[in-house]
Every structure is written in C-alpha cells, then in structure tokens.
Amino acid sequence: MPRFPFPGESVLEFSPELRRLLDQPAMTKVVLPSGHWAWLAVRHEDVRAVSTDRRFSRAEATRPGSPFVGALVVAPGAGLPLISNMDPPEHTRLRKLIAGAFSPRRVEDMRPRIEQIVAERLDAVVAAGPPADLVADLAVAVPITVISELLGVPGTEQARIGRCSDVVISVSGHTAEQVQAARDEMLGYLGELLAAKRVHPGDDLLSALIVARDGEDLLSELELLLLAGFLLVSGHETSRNQIGSMILILLEHPAELARLRARPDLLPAAVEELLRYAQGAAGGGFSVRIATADVEVGGVTVRAGEAVVPARPAANRDPAVFTDPDRLDIARMPNPHLTFGAGIHFCLGAQLARLELQIVLDAVLRRFPDLRLAVPTTELQWRQGLTQRGLAALPVRW
C-alpha cells in the first residue's frame, strides 16, 4: 500500500499519484503516518459522500489507537473534545452556540476593519520598498490580526499565538514534546485571558462565548477553552497559507492575472477558483473518518470500524466535475469545490476567509500594478512538517 500523504506535492503542482487515483474505478488503501491503513477517497462524489454521511464519524477517529494524518493537537489520545472532531449531538450543540458570530451579516460588518488592516500592512510594504516578503509582511500579519481582534486577544500576544500555532499544527517538524508544550502554553494563556474577560468583558467573541447559551445550555470551561484555541489556530493558519499561494499562482499565470486586472468584477469568482486550484493551501484537506456501519461508497464496501480519508484537493481536480481541471480559470462557473469541506463540518469561518482573501487580493492588485517575483520559482521555500502546505516566504518586487 502507498504511504499517504504523498510526497512531492506543492501548491502549484497537482500530485501525480492523486491524478492516477482519480482514474481508478474504486477507492484504494493507503498507509497513514500513524501506521494504520485507510481507504482514500479522491473523486468528488466519494469525498462529498464521506463528508456528509453521518455513518462516517469524526469522533471515533479521536479514540486512543485510531488512525490519524494530522497533528498531535487533533491526534487520538489527546483527550481534547474539539468541535472539529465531534459528532452530533455534541457538535450540533456547540456549533449552534457559536454560529452567529460568523453569520454573513456579522462578517460583512468586519469589512471596514479588515480593509484598514490590509491597507496599513501594504503602506508599510511600500514604505520599506522592494523587495518585500508578502508572506511575512502580509499573509502572516493580516489573518492573525483579524482573528485576534475578533476574539479579543491583545495585539501584544499575537506573535506568541502565531509561534505556538505553528508548532501545534506540526506533523513532523517538531517533536511530540514540543507540540505538547506549545499546546499547553497556548491553552494556559487563553485560560488566563478568559478569566480576565469574566471580570472585565469586552466587545469581542470570547466575551460573548462566556455568556453564550441555548436555553439552559452553556459552554463548559473546557469546551470554551478548546474552542478559543481552535478558532485562533484555524482562523489564521489557513488564510495565511492561502494568501501567499493565491498571489503566487496568479504570478505564475500572467494571462489570468491580466484578465483579473482588466475585470475586477471577477474577483469573487477568482478567489473561489484559487481556493479550488491551490493544492492543500487551505487546511490540507485530509481528516480521518471511521465507519460506524457497513457503507457502500467509492466502489467498495467500507466495513464498520474501517477508516476513510476524504482527499479534498483531489476532489477539486476531478475531471468528472470540473472541465479541464488543471487549468486556472478565474471565471469558472459553477465551481463546487470542496476546499471548505461539506456537511456538518463545513468550515465555520468560510465567509470570513472569503472576505479576507477578496480584500487582500483586491488591495494587492491595485497597489502593485507591476508585481513580480524577486526570485525564480524554483528558489521559493515551503513550510515543512505541517498539516497545511504554504510558502515560507514570497519575495516580490514592483
């Protein structure tokens, strides 16, 4: 059985192994980093089926000894009831308590502040002059500032949170002890912050979550703490990687970049296409499900207790759904990509991520009409050993 995730993948190049599997008539077995085997779903139909069928459990995959792909913070045995690893009714209860904070109206209300944050970062880039690193100077700074302000984390602690987050999502870049220490540091700080907000609440999401209720249902202390950590990590890591990736992809596709500059009305569609096209920039797209009953899917019978990994990046290149899937088309419609997932675990912050990406891309294109890479593409460095793929740096000139 091949080992998964497959080596050699990048944001710009679709995995040859995943492409080969898309042509296979049935799901195949792979060996995961945990040493277990699992079914790998790659076709759009199969990935969506596994993601939406409640007979495939996320919670069962967190039990001690279960297969896993990702980081220690979400690995079996960690003992953490994260919302991303819950099944109904626990998942339904938590999501209902927090969903209002990410409603389309509330996210849209954040537009002026996000525009201000982006403008300030780009002002600093222009003042410093070329070359600039759009990862360090933009992609890192904007998402961590936005999610921190939404939650009520002071700006003085954002660098600390970012450092801990990088370690927490590590697969092979740090030892288990280092990951554990970073997780404990982050949760310890958030515990202190939550205690302070109970005494002096603010106009922020953490203060709102402290008193959030559904009838008599409140968040427990542990749920509140872990939810805060989950929102901090997931709320900036994926956008950080996607910002760098989408700028690079456009620079590597000058015809589509020129098309977008000439047609700024295509910006929303362009962001959706970049979300589809970038391989694994938004979250890696891999999470284990355990079948709780025998299920027919992807040309095989998945027996109760067996693991399935839905590969969203592969589904986003399925030729059965996307015409000429390896071509970047910023006007692609429809575009039913699965970057944000599907079903009950559809990304809670999808609206916020879309808004951030649209604002950043629009501002970069307007401020830098002659943007270009400052180094050859082959010299770009990628972050290693993490659950999410992304650029370590993006040197540019203008």
Integer Cα distance of 173 and 203 in angstroms? 37
Mean pLDDT check: name the lowest of 258-262, 266-270, 304-308, 378-382: 378-382
Q: Are 231 and 237 in contact (CB under 8 A)?
A: no
Tokens at residue 206, please? 């953490």
CA nearest to 347, candidates 238, 269, 254, 196: 238
pLDDT given at position 281: 47
Sheet holding 37-41, edge to edge: 28-31, 37-41, 307-310, 289-291, 56-57
According to DSSP, residue 138 is labeled I
Question: What residues are paired with 65 via a beta bridge?
Answer: none
204: left (phi over 0), alpha (psi -120 to 50) or beta: beta
| pTM higher than the cut 0.75 | yes
Report residue 184 CA to chain centroid gap. 22
Helix, strand, or coil here: 290?
strand
Integer Cα distance of 363 and 380 in angstroms? 23
Tokens at residue 37, please? 């085997």
pLDDT given at position 77: 37
Where are the domains positioned within the chain?
A: 16-397
CB atoms closer than 10 angstroms to residue 259 = 16
- The residue that leads in pLDDT, 264 or 219, is 264
Integer Cα distance of 292 and 54 in angstroms? 9
CA nearest to 206, candidates 216, 214, 196, 78: 196
Residues 90-116, mean pLDDT to the nearest whole number: 90
pLDDT digit string (tens) for 356-393?
999 999 999 999 999 999 999 999 988 765 556 788 89
pLDDT band at 168 (very low <50, low <70, confident <90, very high): confident
According to DSSP, residue 318 is labeled -
Q: Which amino acid is at 363?
A: A
* CATH code for residues 16-397: 1.10.630.10
Residues 68-78, mean pLDDT to the nearest whole number: 49
pLDDT given at position 371: 97
Examine the pLDDT at 16 and tell me if it is beyond 60: yes
Query: Given the DSSP bridges, would you call strands 300-302 and 395-397 parallel, antiparallel or unpaired?
Result: unpaired
What lies within 8 Å, CB to CB, of 2 at 6+ separation is: 17, 28, 30, 31
